[in-house]
Structure 1
Amino acid sequence: MPVRFAVSPLWETVAALRVLAAAHRAPDVHRSWLAWARPRLDGLGPDPTPLTRLATLPVVPEFLIPTPSVRFLDLDTALHALPDLARPERVAAALPDDPGLLAGPGALSAVLERLRRVYDAVIAPVWPRLEGVLQGDIERRGKHLVDRGAPAVLAELHPDVATHADGVRVWDRRVVAGERDLVLVPSAFTWPDVYLREGPCRSALCYPARGFGALWQRPPAPARDGLARLIGATRARLLTELDQPATVSQLAARLGITVAAASQHLDVLRATGLVFSRREGRNLVSLRTGLGLALVEGGNR
């Protein structure tokens, strides 16, 4: 059973819609985000598309949130792929009571446009913080996957997750993996639940990311010199600058140091789990992990 990880802004957007739709049942950890996000969503006006209905079904159709095929699938790429996935036969299979839901002219395009607007309103402004937590979770668990193997990693994801000889079980659902990938998708909006879905090519297990509880809390920041004494002045400044993703060159210019020096300091921050870096075209872009965020803002993990 090949196991890998993925982060998807599309998954988080749909998961956020589910939290917003059931705000009266939302856990306390999301209250401050809900207070901020609800007026922004309301500002878009009533949803004239089937998106809210699709996103709040007990089982979200796979054609709306396909399991990512790579570690990071940006929103534009995911939205571009949805028309090929939302074929009439797949819609009919997922929605037997309303197989023609997306059959009208422009129905699917309207859903995609609404998805984009929801993302821009309630996810994009917090995405750098959110992605840092999700990617930091993957970095930590990825090391465990190498050191301890998939069964150990799966066992620590959630109390309701268990492994068996040929797959994984969540509650009373059992998935036989076979040659399919099992994609582990960390999420801030899934908590306290875990979500398992089978697919023809890969199965997905969406679980609460470690450290997401600090996302919406903003405790008083520690004194800048205190953080500098802890990790060094330059690294403290780098970590503070990474409230938004940045390249090595951008960070070096902001701090007035050489690119080589910035790269060396980032290597240390990555090795200690405070920063995550990913490739965007020819550039290496870095951002804070949840641990780095908590350190800068004085939170506790």
Structure 2
Amino acid sequence: MLTYRLSSRDLADVRFVVSPVAEMVLSLRALRDPGRFPLQLGWVRAVQPRVAELNWDVLRWLINDTMGSPDFLTPRPTSPLTQLADELDVIAGVDRQTFERQVVAVNGQFPDELTVEKVVDALTEYWQAVMAPYWSRMRTLLSADISYRGHVLTQQGTGAMLNGLGPAITYADGLLKVDRVAEQSRIESVDGRGLVLQPTLFGPHAVIPFDPGAEPLLGYPPRGQAHLWSVAEPPSQQDLAQLIGTPRAHILGLLTHPRTTTDLAVELKVTPSAVSQHLQLLRRTGLVEPQRTGKQVLYRPTELAALLTGAEAD
């Protein structure tokens, strides 16, 4: 068990994040022991044809038999909008001493041929093969959970929000206790460093830093996982057209990058006012969002639209 001791100032400084690289590293757990992750079996089955082609000479050193990973692989993010490339840059910059020490702490040994560069290359290949095709779906669920937790925090307070994170997580009287995460119990004070809460699909109960004394971070299971893989493939263009209408389906299909109303009108050979009407409906239903650049208003698909169409959101 890990117990975080939080002051009133710490409780006011709780932050939520989404980490693409953490989800990638933690997903190795599900590939290593699928039986522990029944809610993610849909993803495990879907990626099986690609798994054998990955660089397991490197990847096997990133997760041990007890599901531990070196902390340098999961740098503490600072935002729900963290980008994978930025996190990979942080990993690439880890110093050699930390790299070797944490690999040994997790695995009990260090392979001579292992380098940070090989780790970053293996993770990049892993992302493209088994994470990128499904990341929009995953990120939408993680972001929705953060919105829900924020609502609970605002309406009921930090204590109620913390107590609702999962059955392995309890809070009372300034003590946040995390069970089922470590063989040896330890107590750590947050002490003004900020507690970061990170929803993760690959807990399955909770996730904490491997090293004692690391920056305070708690991964917890998000809501809605049971239905995450209920739709194995995105709808076809014909199905999407039946759902939201052919013109609006065409517009979503054209938004592979932000575009103006006039640009879309020229592409579709219709008037800008007709496109504007469709865009306003797509905006009201949460499928597109505007962004102003100078005097122009560009429209781009939201994460909800990416989830619906199976495309990658910007």
Q: TM-score range by the shorter chain?
A: 0.7 to 0.9
**Which amino acid in the other structure matches residue 146 of structure 1?**
T
Gap regions ≥5 residues in structure 2: 1-9, 180-184
Task: Flag the 1:207–1:247 CA change in 2: closer, same or farther, 3 A.
Answer: farther
Q: Is the 8 A contact 1:54 1:60 kept in 2?
A: yes
The structure 2 residue matched to 1:118, chosen from 111, 117, 126, is: 126
Report the Cα offset of residue 293 of structure 1.
5.5
Partner in structure 2 of residue 83 of structure 1: 92
Report the Cα offset of residue 40 of structure 1.
0.8
Report the Cα offset of residue 28 of structure 1.
3.0
Partner in structure 1 of residue 21 of structure 2: 10
Q: Is the 8 A contact 1:135 1:289 kept in 2?
A: no
Task: Flag the 1:31–1:245 CA change in 2: closer, same or farther, 3 A.
Answer: farther
Partner in structure 1 of residue 56 of structure 2: 47
**Which amino acid in the other structure matches residue 54 of structure 1?**
L
Task: Flag the 1:260–1:225 CA change in 2: closer, same or farther, 3 A.
Answer: closer
Q: Is the 8 A contact 2:169 2:177 kept in 1?
A: yes
Shifted more, 194-203 versus 69-78: the winner is 194-203
Q: Is the 8 A contact 2:241 2:248 kept in 1?
A: no
Gap regions ≥5 residues in structure 1: none
Provide the secondary structure at the position in 2 that maps to 1:185.
Answer: strand
Provide the secondary structure at the position in 1 that maps to 2:15.
Answer: strand
Q: Is the 8 A contact 2:137 2:307 kept in 1?
A: yes
Matches within 5 A, 1:1-301: 1=10, 2-23=13-34, 25-44=35-54, 46-49=55-58, 51-56=59-64, 58=66, 59-89=68-98, 91-92=100-101, 95-96=104-105, 101=110, 104=112, 107-171=115-179, 174-191=187-204, 193-197=205-209, 202-218=215-231, 237=248, 241=252, 247=258, 249=260, 253=264, 264-265=280-281, 268-270=284-286, 286-289=301-304
Could you tell me the TM-score, scaled by structure 2's length? Answer: 0.71
Alpha-carbon separation, structure 1, partners of 2:15 and 2:259: 27
User: Identity rate of aligned residues, in percent?
Assistant: 24
Provide the secondary structure at the position in 1 that maps to 2:29.
Answer: helix
Q: How many residues align?
A: 280
Answer with 1 or 2: which has the greater Rg.
Answer: 2
